[in-house]
Amino acid sequence: MTVFHFFNCAILTFGPHAVYYSATPLSEYDTFGTSVKAAIVYLGTALVKLVCLATFLKVPENDSFDPYQELLKALIGFIDVAGLYFALTQLTHRNISQNHKFQAVGLGWAFADSVLHRLAPLWVGARGLEFTWEYILQGLEANANLVLTVSLAALGSLMWLRKNKPRTLVPIIYACAGILATMPSITSYLRRGLGWHFPKVVGFELFASLAMAFISWQLFSACQKPSA
């Protein structure tokens, strides 16, 4: 019954993306092309990140938290942000509203991330006889990642695509975007530096993603008001 388990974990990991696409107006406005383009940009970004990591990072001897290495990883993580910028601003999209553009880009980005990072371990590991909770936790992590990415895309579109923003909110926007961008470093610090177990880390990610999503939503609607 292990292909069954693989099927379950696959639903958990990739289902929400499909549900998000079909449930929201994204499917009505046929923004599939945008998502695909965002996914391709993500692949390119991942390649660039890989090369940078391989060039600048040392292989750690033990699994402890090395601040210097983590700082370097965080800096390289900003390449992600650059990639999102590219996907949001530089690509030519069909005439879709701001609202839907960032959602489509975020969705495509998160889907590519899940496939790249989680499909192969799932295929190799979840089909075995041995049962572990790991793949279910990985699926939950994918869900949290989706929410985080969409929030980041929202804040990104606020930063780069919207010209008239209320002055007071601008620093908050940048601060939240910064937190979202450095989320991978935060989780790695929790896992290595504080020694949290995987379930705890995933729980933190879920909670953080929901919190950040709420904050981004508020910011977005606050910025919408002047133009409405």
Partner 1 sequence: MAGSKGREGEMLESIYSVLALVFILVACVELGDAATVVDVYRLIQYDLAGVPFGSRLASLNHHAGSLPFAPGADLSRTVVIIPFREVNITFLRDYIMQRQPLGGLLLLLPQNISSESREEAEEGDRNNGKELIRSELAELEKLLVHVNIPYPVYFAFEDDKITAVLADVKTNDATGQPATATTGGYKLVVSTPEPKKLASPTITNIQGWLPGLKADGDVNQLPTIAIVASYDTFGAAPALSVGSDSNGSGVVALLEIARLFSLLYSNPKTRGRYNLLFGLTSGGPYNYNGTFKWLQSFDQRLRESIDYAICLNSIGSWDDELWIHVSKPPENAYIKQVFEVAWEHEQFSKSRVTAVTLSELSVAPELLESTGGLSDSRHFVNGIAVSRSVKLVAESLARHIYGHQGKNIQIFADGSSLAVNPFYIQSWLDLMSQTPRVAPFLPKNDPFILALKKELADHTAEVNVQHEALDGIFTFYDLTKASLNIYQVASVTFDLLLLLVLGSYLIILFSFLVITTRGLDDLISLFRRPPSRKVKMA
For the record, the structure tokens of 181 come out as 């961008």
Which distant-in-sequence residues (6+ apart) come within 8 Å of 221 by Cβ? none
Q: How far is the CB of 26 from partner 1 (least distance, A)?
A: 9
116: contact with partner 1 by CB under 8 A:
no
- The distance of closest approach from Cβ of residue 151 to partner 1 in the complex, given in angstroms and rounded to an integer, is 15
Report d(CA 153, CA 85) in Å as an integer. Answer: 9
Interaction of residue 23 with partner 1, rule CB under 8 A? yes
Q: How many residues bind partner 1 (CB under 8 A)?
A: 24
Stretch that binds partner 1, among 17-25, 59-67, 160-168, 192-200 (CB under 8 A): 17-25
Q: Which residue has the tokens 């379930």?
A: 199
d(C-alpha 25, C-alpha 175), whole Å:
29
Given the complex with partner 1, which of 89 and 221 has the nearer CB atom? 221
228 binds partner 1 (CB under 8 A): no
Task: Report how far residue 212's alpha carbon sits from residue 77's, in angstroms, rounded to the nearest whole number.
Answer: 18
Of 120-179, binders to partner 1 (CB under 8 A) are: 123-125, 127-131, 136
Nearer to partner 1, 27 or 89 (CB): 27
For 112, which DSSP code?
H
CB atoms within 10 A of CB 203: 15
In the bound complex, what is the minimum distance in angstroms from residue 14's beta carbon to partner 1?
A: 11
> Which residue, 22 or 89, is less far from partner 1 as judged by CB?
22
CA distance 214 to 39: 25
Task: Confirm or reject binding of residue 20 to partner 1 (CB under 8 A).
Answer: yes
CB of 133 to partner 1, least distance (A): 10
List of residues 6+ apart from 201 with CB closer than 8 A: 187, 190, 191
25 touching partner 1, by CB under 8 A:
yes
Cβ proximity to partner 1, 2 vs 89, nearer residue = 2
H helices of the chain, in order, are 2-23, 32-56, 67-85, 98-114, 120-125, 134-161, 169-181, 183-188, 198-227
Q: How far is the CB of 137 from partner 1 (least distance, A)?
A: 13
The binding site for partner 1 (CB under 8 A) comprises 1, 4-5, 7-8, 11-12, 15-16, 19-20, 22-25, 123-125, 127-131, 136
